[in-house]
């Protein structure tokens, strides 16, 4: 549970962890029923429910968007208005403990 | 049918009827907008359907529409119709909150594609409606800004997650609203509020500008007073969008499709659903009356089997939460929204931001989804769920070889009291038992009111059709509406 | 170190920026050196509600690149994208769109000059992250411009046994192929080709060291040096038994200090929770068949053009008196970026016969000048002298106004490659320019040396003709190498005859 919370960057206090463990136990106990569905062993996973007939036909052409259109880059002012902390034109965050990824 | 006689007040009319009144000159767009804005101001306090109202913007848009009319320009599909948008859909210049604190300060820099298409059809955006946080819930009790109440009984929930949109239409605060449906989030609140709610075929409507919850399930759809209005709304917003790679280049059905008779149609009923343990007697009875009405209109009803529909909740709560755990990773306080003040490193900042910004249900689902995808468990949970999803889709394919539509109750219960299910997440999840199969299979589904239970609470009848066959869903729903519906009826408190 | 000799094993991962106008999943322009955070949109910024849309040009470039490596396209019947989930400030969505289970290309190989075949495991299309700079005072600053730039990640099977030179050659050939295919410019100095060799040592008994993943390698020379350095460092162990899971660690290369610096150990593999990207369609192989056909045609045209150039090159090689290896390096592969050809043309214009200029210039460009360029990271743009200036240096040597020794030491290996300038003026300023005017000086020097070395003169007259070389050497010293040794020999002969 702690490992999952860390992966998701969700803080878990002790009381919450207890309650969550209970909820999880109930939910996972419920979804475990899927193990008993025999035909699922051979079924292909379904990730895209309604595929296009010709998915390569509508690929986006390699062209910059018209200025002002819905696909154009955002003006810096917009970024500035939304960003919590800027240093000049760069978004500033407290340092990352791990160098590199 | 467009709801209401010529002298009915605007708020008892359906969207197309409002449009027609404006087009005929009987009322200006501005007057119509004011009418609804005044109603919202006076009456929304009791149900809190709205999170934001943009009176200025609405009146500006309405004035522009009146100017168009004066110039003699022909009316567009939704000309002058005031509409509300669930607050997980972007409208340029308005905040998008998703019912969450974590998007504090986020003002949408651009319209969602749906929003842009609505404006292009002449609709007047009046505001944003309340929702369960990030669309996760079935009661609109999970909003960070307080619950919305059911206009038929304010002690009860309107359903969720598009509870605000459904309540707004049910209370006559707007004739048309839009929501999003991932596991039933348009249809279930529509059922609980006694209005029409449509989840289109996956890919029918662009998701660009809809804040993602379950990407392979989400669809934007209308909440309306009549089936015909819902069909017209779909027509205005559907179609291929280059910004959404999953959107399909297929034309939506003409709104007139709803008017075609159901004589000769084969309608499937799932026995397991009508015998379901959680189905309230009042709901069962109303659904039975709707089936009778369909038979009387010349349709043939027969039993079909969807053997894996019982696994739908389990599949849904693994697939949707897995996708959500990834979709909500972007809320980290770095580029926009809430950023918690923190000393220390970035990881603490991100954790603190998400701790303060997300509510309990959102956290629960993110954790569940993270777990379902995690190393060592992904095959058994996420992977397994996808395989059973395939089986659910195949069940529908098989059923649709013998019937044109599959019908049943939208929700096992009518509106339940606020707080009744809040303590038991699993109990809340089970509200979706009839509504999750359609998004899992990608097929369209509509909920249409089919009467009341013993306590006078609305009951919704669900019609599911094959992919891209919303026309069939509209036909069947319209027939039920003609026999059992009361599209111009408002709750006493909102009459 | 005890036991059997260890083999160097290197698997190479390269991220190449594809040559496109816009990003992988949005229409923002791809641009080098733009103002920070000026080429961003809701999609590449990870705004709520934004969706990716695949760039057809990026897919085509990726396919051309894969085909140029001999890879198969979508051999599993389809290609699709996946989400790789982790948190990092320059990863705005909290996940990277990449390809995990169904990469667009698999297989392929690159043959090295020593016959080694480097097998390519896969090449897939993914998006780049933004750029984080870690400021000293505990801050990280992020520029999102690079977010979403399309990359082709090429992964090889381990090269076993590897050498630093083999790794370098693989990278050069990879760059050449990708350039030929028009898939990527792959210029390392522009960050368009980021190389990560995974280095370990293995022994015949199956034991092996841990794996070092090397990063921050900005030139071919750096790759070669870093691999060599790490191989030497790993030789000290520790060694892990056959079949054991070996630890992986990431090292950054410190080019100034010429050493690897540990960044972090990967004790537990990160859990990226890969799952299929729901926002992008699956592309069955049939659906991209027309695209693949077009890519094959484009590649064939590029190869034909190159073959024509190399055929033309073969003709030129004969005219220029080059051998096959020289012709391949200087004309076909054109390692000097046209500079050899330019100098040869300038030499011809200056009246030097091609058959003479060719071999001389070839020796210069492949020898001391290549050495000079490679010591500076391998970019010929650092070489300043113009074609005319190079031809002038050859003319000086031919005209015996500067000896080959002087030309080599004071021009080719001096400051001249980095500064340019008329070679005559450069040598003259150093007092090293000889020539017709210097005949008197040469005669005077010969007379002085002849007079000062009576004993050697006596030896020569007694029959030890080899001793004449010592006199020549002294004259050369006196004239600081500017005298023509043949002329000196002739003058000394005159003096010896009396």
ipTM confidence score: 0.96
Is-contact C62 C123, C-beta < 8 A?
yes
Closest of B447, B481, B484, B458 to residue B200, by C-alpha? B447
Q: Does B134 or B421 have the greater pLDDT score?
A: B134
Contacts of B93 in chain A (CB under 8 A): none
Do B330 and C271 lie within an 8 Å CB cutoff? no
Do C399 and C469 have their domain in common? Answer: no
> What is the nearest CA distance from B469 to chain A, expressed in angstroms?
13
pLDDT at B5 over 80: no
Q: Answer whether C151's CB lies under 8 Å from C128's CB.
A: yes
Interatomic CA distance for residues C246 and C251, integer angstroms: 16
Element (H, E) at C222: helix C220-234
**In terms of domains, do C450 and C385 share one?**
no
Asked whether the beta carbons of residue A73 and residue C41 sit closer than 8 angstroms, the reply is yes
- CB within 8 Å: C87 and B98: no
Whole-number Å distance between alpha carbons of A45 and A42: 9
Percent of chain A with pLDDT over 70: 95
pLDDT in tens, B439-495: 999 999 999 999 999 999 999 999 999 999 999 999 999 999 999 999 999 999 998
Residues C228 and C372 grouped into a single domain = no
How crowded is residue B362: how many other Cβ atoms within 10 Å of its Cβ?
28
pLDDT at C318: 84
**Res B385: pLDDT:** 97
Query: What domain range is C456 assigned to?
Result: 437-497
Cβ–Cβ of C275/B332 closer than 8 Å? no
Residue B86 annotated as catalytic: yes
Instruction: DSSP letter for A96, please.
Output: P
- The CA-based dihedral angle spanning residues B99, B103, B107, B112, taken in that order and rounded to the nearest 10 degrees: -60
On whether residue C163 sits in a domain, the answer given is yes
Contact B44, B173 (CB under 8 A): yes
Tell me whether C21 touches chain A (CB under 8 Å): yes
Beta carbons of C49 and B326 less than 8 Å apart:
no
Q: Are residues C413 and C441 in the same domain?
A: no
pLDDT of residue B134: 98
User: What are the residue ranges of helices labelled H in A8-94?
Assistant: 14-31, 76-82
How confident is the model at residue B424, as a pLDDT? 83
Show which of C389, C404, C429 is a domain's final residue. Answer: C429
Which residue of A lies nearest to C138 if distances are taken between CA atoms? A95
CA-based nearest distance A79→chain C, Å? 8
The distance of B248 to chain A (nearest Cα, Å) reads: 6
Mean pLDDT of chain B: 96
Residues B456-470 have pLDDT tens digits of 999 999 999 999 999
**Residue C383 placed within a domain:** yes
Mutate to test the interface with C, among B216, B220, B332, B345 (most CBs of C within 10 A): B332
Question: DSSP secondary-structure letter at C159?
Answer: B
- Report the alpha-carbon distance of residue B484 to residue B452 in Å, rounded: 9
Is A77 a domain residue? no
- Cβ of C287 within 8 Å of Cβ of A55? The answer is yes
Give contacts of A98 with chain C, Cβ < 8 Å. 264
Kindly state the average pLDDT of the residues A56-79.
Answer: 95
Tell me which residue in C42, C47, C281 faces B245 most closely, judged by beta carbons.
C281
Separation CA C446–CA C456 (nearest Å)? 13
Question: Nearest by CB to B346, which of A58, A60, A96?
Answer: A96
Q: Do C278 and C391 belong together in one domain? A: no
Q: Domain for residue C39, yes or no? A: yes
CA distance C143 to A79: 12
| Mean pLDDT to the nearest integer, B418-435 | 89
Are C80 and C193 found together in one domain?
Answer: yes
Same domain, yes or no: C350 and C202: no
Any domain includes A27 = yes
What's the confidence (pLDDT) of residue A101?
A: 55
* B161 is a catalytic site residue: yes
Residue C140 lies in a domain: yes
Say how far apart CA C385 and CA B323 lie, in whole Å. 59
What does the angle CA B211 – CA B217 – CA B220 come to, to the nearest 5 degrees?
55
> Is any Cβ of chain A less than 8 angstroms from the Cβ of B74?
no
SS3 of C329-360: the string is: HHHHCCCCCCHHHHHHHHHHHCCCCHHHHHHH
Q: Which pLDDT value is given to residue C213?
A: 95
- Locus of tokens 């089986």: B391
Optimal mutation site among C57, C287, C294, C295, interface A, most CBs of chain A within 10 A: C287
Q: How far is residue C263 from each of residues A99, C30, C493, measured CA to CA in Å?
A: 7, 30, 69
* pLDDT surpassing 60 at residue B293: yes
Range from A80-89, B393-402, C11-20, C94-103 carrying the lowest mean pLDDT: A80-89
Same domain, C155 and C202: yes
**Active-site position among B138, B143, B161, B447:** B161
Indicate whether C297 belongs to any domain. no
Domain count, chain A: 1
Contact A71 B243 (CB under 8 A): yes
**For chain A, what is the largest distance between any 2 Cα atoms, rounded to a whole number of angstroms?**
59
From B208, B335, B346, residue closest to C49, measured CB to CB: B208
pLDDT higher than 50, residue B1: no
Q: Which of B185, B206, B208, B247 is catalytic?
A: B185
Whether the CA torsion C330, C334, C335, C337 is positive or negative: it is positive
> How near does any CA of chain A get to the CA of B115, in Å?
12
Which chain B residues are closer than 8 Å to A34 by Cβ? 311, 314-315, 318, 384-385, 388
**Domain identity same for C327 and C463:** no
Is B401 an active-site residue? Answer: no
Which domain range does residue A16 map to? 1-35
Minimum CA–CA partner of C55 in chain A: A60
> Do C481 and C346 share a structural domain?
no
Helix (H, G, I), strand (E, B) or coil at C120: strand
Count of structural domains, chain C: 3
pTM (2 d.p.): 0.85
Of C398, C429, C460, the one marking the end of a domain is C429
Residue C315 within a domain:
no
A24 inside domain: yes
Question: Which positions in chain C touch A96 (Cβ < 8 Å)?
Answer: 88-89, 132, 134, 140
Chain A contact present for B203, CB below 8 A: yes
Let me know if residue A4 belongs to a domain: yes
Per run of 10 residues, the mean pLDDT along chain C (length 498 residues) is 76 98 97 92 98 98 97 97 96 98 97 96 98 86 97 97 96 96 93 96 93 94 96 92 90 91 77 98 97 94 86 81 86 85 88 89 93 86 91 89 87 90 88 68 88 90 88 86 81 86
Contacts of C10 (CB under 8 A, 6+ apart): C158, C159, C160, C162, C166, C167, C197, C198, C199, C200, C227
Cα-based angle C58, C63, C69 (whole degrees, multiple of 5): 130
| More confident: C243 or B61 | B61
For C48, the closest of B103, B245, B350 (CB atoms) is: B103
pLDDT in tens, B329-375: 999 999 999 998 767 888 889 999 999 999 999 999 999 999 999 99
Distance from CA of C287 to the nearest CA of A (A): 6
- Residues in C closer than 8 angstroms to B329, CB to CB, are 85, 87, 93-95
Q: Considering the domain boundaries, does residue A17 fall inside one?
A: yes
Q: Which residue has the higher pLDDT, B110 or C403?
A: B110
C20 CB neighbours in chain A (<8 A) are 62
CB contact (8 A) between residue B371 and residue A4 = yes
- List the subunits that have 3+ CB pairs under 8 angstroms with C: A, B
Whether C295 is in a domain gets the answer: no
Domain CATH for C448? 1.10.10
B373 to chain C nearest CA, in Å? Answer: 5
Q: Which residues of chain A are within 8 Å of residue B366 when distances are taken between CB atoms?
A: 8, 10
A81 lies in a domain? no
Q: Which residue of chain C is at minimal alpha-carbon distance from A75?
A: C38
In a domain, C302, yes or no: no
Q: Which residues 159-218 of B have a C-beta within 8 angstroms of C?
A: 207-212, 215-216
Q: Which chain A residues are closer than 8 Å to C86 by Cβ?
A: 101
Helix or strand or coil: residue B198?
A: strand
> Which domains does chain B show, CATH number per domain?
10-266+487-494 (3.90.1300.10)
**Residue A12, in any domain of the structure:** yes
Q: Is A56 on the interface with B (CB under 8 A)?
A: no
Residue A16, domain member (yes or no): yes
Looking at the structure, tell me whether residues C424 and C441 fall in a common domain: no
Is A90 in CB contact (< 8 Å) with chain B? no
**B5 at the A interface (CB within 8 A)?**
no
pLDDT the model gives residue A66: 94
pLDDT score of C267: 64
Q: State which residue of chain A sits closest to C24, comparing Cα positions.
A: A62
Same domain, residue pair C165 and C82 = yes
């Amino acid at each position: 549970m702690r490992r999952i919370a860390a992966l998701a960057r969700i803080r878990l206090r002790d009381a919450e962890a207890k309650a969550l463990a209970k909820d999880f136990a109930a939910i996972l106990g419920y979804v475990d029923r899927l193990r008993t569905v025999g035909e699922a062993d051979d079924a292909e996973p379904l990730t895209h429910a309604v595929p296009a007939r010709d998915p390569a036909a509508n690929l986006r052409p390699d062209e910059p968007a018209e200025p002002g259109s819905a696909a154009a880059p955002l003006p810096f002012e917009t970024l500035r208005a939304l960003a919590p902390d800027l240093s000049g034109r760069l978004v500033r965050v407290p340092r990352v403990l791990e160098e590199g990824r | 049918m467009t709801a209401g006689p010529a002298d009915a007040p605007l708020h008892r009319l359906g969207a197309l009827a409002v449009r027609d009144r404006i087009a005929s000159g009987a009322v200006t767009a501005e007057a119509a907008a004011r009418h609804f804005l005044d109603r919202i101001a006076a009456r929304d306090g009791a149900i809190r359907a709205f999170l934001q109202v943009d009176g200025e913007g609405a009146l500006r848009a309405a004035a522009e529409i009146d100017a168009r009319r004066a110039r003699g320009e022909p009316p567009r599909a939704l000309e002058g119709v005031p509409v509300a948008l669930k607050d997980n859909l972007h409208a340029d210049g308005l905040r998008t909150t998703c019912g969450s604190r974590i998007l504090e300060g986020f003002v949408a820099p651009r319209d969602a594609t749906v929003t842009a298409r609505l404006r292009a059809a002449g609709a007047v955006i009046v505001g944003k409606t309340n929702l369960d946080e990030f669309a996760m819930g079935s009661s609109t009790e999970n909003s960070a800004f307080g619950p919305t109440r059911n206009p038929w009984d304010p002690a009860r929930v309107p359903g969720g997650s598009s509870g605000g949109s459904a309540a707004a239409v049910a209370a006559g605060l707007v004739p048309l609203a839009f929501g999003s449906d991932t596991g039933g989030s348009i249809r279930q609140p529509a059922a609980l509020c006694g209005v029409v709610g449509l989840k289109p075929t996956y890919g029918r409507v662009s998701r660009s500008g809809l804040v993602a919850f379950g990407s392979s399930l989400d669809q934007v759809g209308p909440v309306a007073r009549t089936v015909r209005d819902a069909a017209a709304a779909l027509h205005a917003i559907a179609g291929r969008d280059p910004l959404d790679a999953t959107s399909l280049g297929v034309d939506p059905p003409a709104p007139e499709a709803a008017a075609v008779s159901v004589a000769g149609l084969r309608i499937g009923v799932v026995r397991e659903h009508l015998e379901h343990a959680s189905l309230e007697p009042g709901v069962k009875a109303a659904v039975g009356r709707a089936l009778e009405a369909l038979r009387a209109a010349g349709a043939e009803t027969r039993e079909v089997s969807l053997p894996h529909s019982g696994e739908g909740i389990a599949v849904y709560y693994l697939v949707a939460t897995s996708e959500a755990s990834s979709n909500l990773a972007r809320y980290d306080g770095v580029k926009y929204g809430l950023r918690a003040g923190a000393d220390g490193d970035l990881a603490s900042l991100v954790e603190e931001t998400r701790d303060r910004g997300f509510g309990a249900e959102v956290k629960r689902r993110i954790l569940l989804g993270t777990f379902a995808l995690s190393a060592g468990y992904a095959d058994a949970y996420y992977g397994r769920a996808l395989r059973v999803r395939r089986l659910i889709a195949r069940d529908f394919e098989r059923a649709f070889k013998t019937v044109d539509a599959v019908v049943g109750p939208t929700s096992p219960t009518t509106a339940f009291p606020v707080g009744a299910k809040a303590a038991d997440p699993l109990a809340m999840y089970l509200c979706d038992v009839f509504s999750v199969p359609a998004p899992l299979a990608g097929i369209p589904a509509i909920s249409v009111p089919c009467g009341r239970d013993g306590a006078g609470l609305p009951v919704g009848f669900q019609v599911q059709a094959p992919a891209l066959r919303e026309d069939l869903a509209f036909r069947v729903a319209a027939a039920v509406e003609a026999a059992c519906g009361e599209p111009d009826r408002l709750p006493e408190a909102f009459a | 170190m005890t036991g059997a000799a260890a083999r160097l094993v290197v698997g190479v991962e390269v991220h190449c920026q594809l040559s496109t106008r816009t990003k992988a999943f949005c229409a923002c322009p791809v641009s080098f050196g733009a103002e920070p955070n000026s080429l961003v949109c809701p999609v590449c910024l990870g705004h709520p509600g934004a969706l990716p849309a695949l760039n057809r040009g990026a897919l085509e470039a990726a396919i051309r690149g894969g085909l140029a490596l001999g890879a198969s396209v979508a051999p599993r019947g389809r290609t699709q994208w996946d989400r790789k989930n982790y948190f990092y400030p320059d990863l705005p969505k909290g996940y990277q769109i990449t390809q995990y289970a169904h990469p667009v290309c698999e297989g392929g190989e690159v043959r090295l000059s020593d016959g080694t075949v480097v097998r390519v495991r896969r090449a897939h299309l993914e998006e780049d992250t933004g750029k984080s700079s870690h400021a000293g005072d505990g801050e990280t600053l992020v520029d999102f411009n690079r977010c979403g730039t399309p990359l082709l990640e090429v992964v090889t099977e381990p090269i076993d046994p590897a050498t630093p030179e083999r790794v370098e050659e693989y990278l050069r050939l990879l760059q050449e192929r990708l350039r030929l295919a028009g898939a990527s410019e792959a210029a390392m100095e522009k960050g368009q080709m980021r190389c990560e060799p995974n280095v370990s040592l293995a022994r015949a008994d199956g034991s092996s060291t841990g794996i070092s993943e090397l990063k921050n390698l900005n030139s071919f020379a750096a790759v070669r040096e870093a691999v060599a350095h790490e191989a030497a460092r790993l030789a000290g162990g520790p060694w892990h038994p056959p079949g054991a899971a070996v630890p992986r660690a990431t090292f950054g290369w410190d080019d100034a200090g010429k050493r690897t610096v540990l960044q972090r150990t990967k004790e537990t593999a990160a859990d990226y929770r890969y799952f299929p990207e729901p926002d992008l369609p699956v592309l069955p192989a049939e659906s991209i068949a027309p695209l693949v056909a077009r890519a094959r045609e484009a590649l064939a045209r590029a190869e034909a053009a190159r073959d024509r150039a190399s055929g033309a090159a073969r003709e030129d090689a004969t005219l220029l008196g080059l051998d096959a290896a020289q012709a391949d390096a200087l004309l076909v592969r054109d390692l000097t970026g046209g500079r050899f050809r330019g100098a040869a043309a300038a030499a011809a214009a200056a009246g030097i016969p091609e058959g003479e200029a060719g071999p001389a210039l070839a020796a210069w460009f492949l020898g001391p000048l290549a050495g000079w360029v490679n010591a500076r990271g391998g970019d010929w743009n650092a070489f300043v002298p113009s074609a005319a200036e190079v031809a002038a240096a050859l003319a000086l040597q031919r005209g015996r106004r500067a000896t080959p020794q002087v030309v080599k030491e004071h021009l080719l290996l001096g400051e001249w490659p980095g500064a340019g300038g008329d070679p005559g003026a450069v040598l003259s300023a150093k007092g090293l320019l000889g020539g017709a005017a210097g005949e008197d000086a040469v005669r005077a020097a010969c007379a002085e040396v002849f007079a000062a070395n009576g004993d050697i003169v006596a030896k020569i007259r007694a029959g030890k003709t080899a001793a004449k070389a010592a006199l020549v050497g002294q004259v050369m010293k006196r004239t600081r190498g500017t005298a023509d040794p043949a002329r000196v020999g002739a003058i000394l002969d005159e003096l010896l005859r009396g």
